[in-house]
Amino acid sequence: MTDGIPFVLTTRLELSVSGQAREEILGPVLWPDFLPLALDSPLPARLEPDGRLRVQLLPGSWTLSLTARHLGPMETLKWLGGPAPWPPQEIWSFQAQNVLRVVQVEGAPALDPAQTRLPQDWRQWPAYLLQTGGELRFLTRQRGDVAPAPERLSLERTLWLDFAGNGYTARDRLSGNLNATRLDTAPELRLGRVAIDGEDQFITIQPGAEASGVEVRQLNKLELLADSRPRIGAGFRLQWEPAQNCHVLLYPEGMVKLNGSAGEIMKRCDGQRSLGEIGAELESAFDAKGLQGDVLAFVEMARKQRWLAWE
């Protein structure tokens, strides 16, 4: 979803087809009050007057996309769904255009785009999970950018220098008003944990960027806390278990068996290394590139399980 003038909606279908060649009618894929602009399909396909898609299916994996524009102002978009084999859940991405209007999106739970199968270029935008009967509401907070409220941020930074003197741990506390909907760190810093008004946020890296950051939906009266270096959480102990031939995480009630990659990340979470340093060490140790996203995803999961805390 692109919040422009007009509002543009791109519906992407990923089909896994087996069996004989056949014709199927899918959808509906075209919402009411939308005008179709383009249908991109490697298979013979036709958009029916009722908004459903007629497709000549062949065995294999196929990706189809339909682009349409809305005929008027967009305030609410409801989940249409459809009969089987239509999935019971959909993932929607929203690309805001703050120079036209600033909106607050409500009505569906937010997802971490990095943990979905969305196209890579869609993962830079907020994502939402829609189910039967669900809807997204777009509440307009401001139109245009004629006289935006001035950005006024206050930064309180605490630094802890390593004993070796070759690095430091940082804790930043930001408060004030913000016009942007995303905050990124400087490239030399790597976030470990970010909380806005006490609620932990997903940390993401945009395609082609080096810096990690977070999406910011509360622009006014912002209260943000960012920490930098992970360590093993209280009550847990990491050790190598020869009998299991892997690293395990011990806690009073039991044990967590870690796979190889999880163990390599966890043993580096010593409260001294930043996430950037952990990712760089792993890339060097295993002669691989682009592991930073995997490190962030695992650390986010480990934080929720309380396996990790932050210095």
List, for residues 180-219, the tens digit of each pLDDT value.
778 888 765 667 778 887 777 888 888 877 778 888 876 6
Do residue 204 and residue 285 come from a single domain?
A: yes
Q: Is residue 1 part of a domain?
A: no
Domain final residue pick, 81, 108, 143? 143
**C-beta separation of 201 from 194 below 8 A:** yes
Predicted pLDDT at 296: 76
**Cβ neighbours for 50, distance < 8 A, ≥ 6 positions apart:** 28
Predicted pLDDT at 146: 54
- Cα separation, 149 vs 172, in Å, equals 23
Burial (CB < 10 A; 0-12, 13-18, 19+), residue 8, is middle
Q: Is residue 50 part of a domain?
A: yes
Domain final residue pick, 95, 113, 143? 143
Predicted pLDDT at 271: 76
Do residue 86 and residue 108 come from a single domain?
A: yes
Do residue 13 and residue 115 come from a single domain?
A: yes
- Closest by alpha carbon to 180, among 146, 118, 241, 222? 222
How many domains does the chain fold into? 2
- Closest by alpha carbon to 67, among 26, 38, 103, 108? 38
Q: Is residue 22 part of a domain?
A: yes
Do residue 101 and residue 43 come from a single domain?
A: yes
- Cα separation, 293 vs 113, in Å, equals 12
The two tokens of residue 292 are 């930073």
Neighbours of 240 (CB within 10 A): 11
Predicted pLDDT at 208: 79
Do residue 115 and residue 154 come from a single domain?
A: no
Do residue 124 and residue 166 come from a single domain?
A: no
Predicted pLDDT at 83: 81
Q: Is residue 2 part of a domain?
A: no
Predicted pLDDT at 70: 94
Q: Digits of tens for pLDDT over the chain (311 positions)?
A: 999 889 999 999 999 999 999 999 998 999 999 999 999 999 999 999 999 999 999 999 999 999 999 998 899 999 988 788 888 899 999 999 887 888 899 999 999 888 888 988 899 899 999 988 899 999 988 876 555 567 788 888 776 665 555 556 677 888 888 777 788 887 656 677 788 877 778 888 888 777 788 888 766 677 777 766 778 888 899 999 998 899 999 998 889 999 999 999 999 888 777 776 788 889 888 888 888 778 878 887 887 888 887 65
Domain final residue pick, 93, 119, 143? 143
Do residue 109 and residue 22 come from a single domain?
A: yes
Q: Is residue 77 part of a domain?
A: yes
Q: Is residue 44 part of a domain?
A: yes
Pairing type for strands 193-196 and 199-200 reads antiparallel
Tell me phi and psi for residue 48, to 5 degrees. Answer: -80, 160
Do residue 134 and residue 164 come from a single domain?
A: no
Do residue 124 and residue 22 come from a single domain?
A: yes
Q: Is residue 281 part of a domain?
A: yes
Helix axes 292-304, 275-285, angle to 10 degrees: 130
The two tokens of residue 308 are 């990790």
Predicted pLDDT at 71: 92
**C-beta separation of 144 from 99 below 8 A:** yes
What's the domain range around 212?
149-311
Do residue 81 and residue 154 come from a single domain?
A: no
CA distances from 51 to 31, 38, 41, 86, 179 (A): 7, 13, 16, 14, 38
The two tokens of residue 275 are 């996430």
Do residue 66 and residue 209 come from a single domain?
A: no
State the CATH number of the domain containing residue 294.
Answer: 1.10.10.1150
Q: Is residue 3 part of a domain?
A: no
Do residue 230 and residue 256 come from a single domain?
A: yes
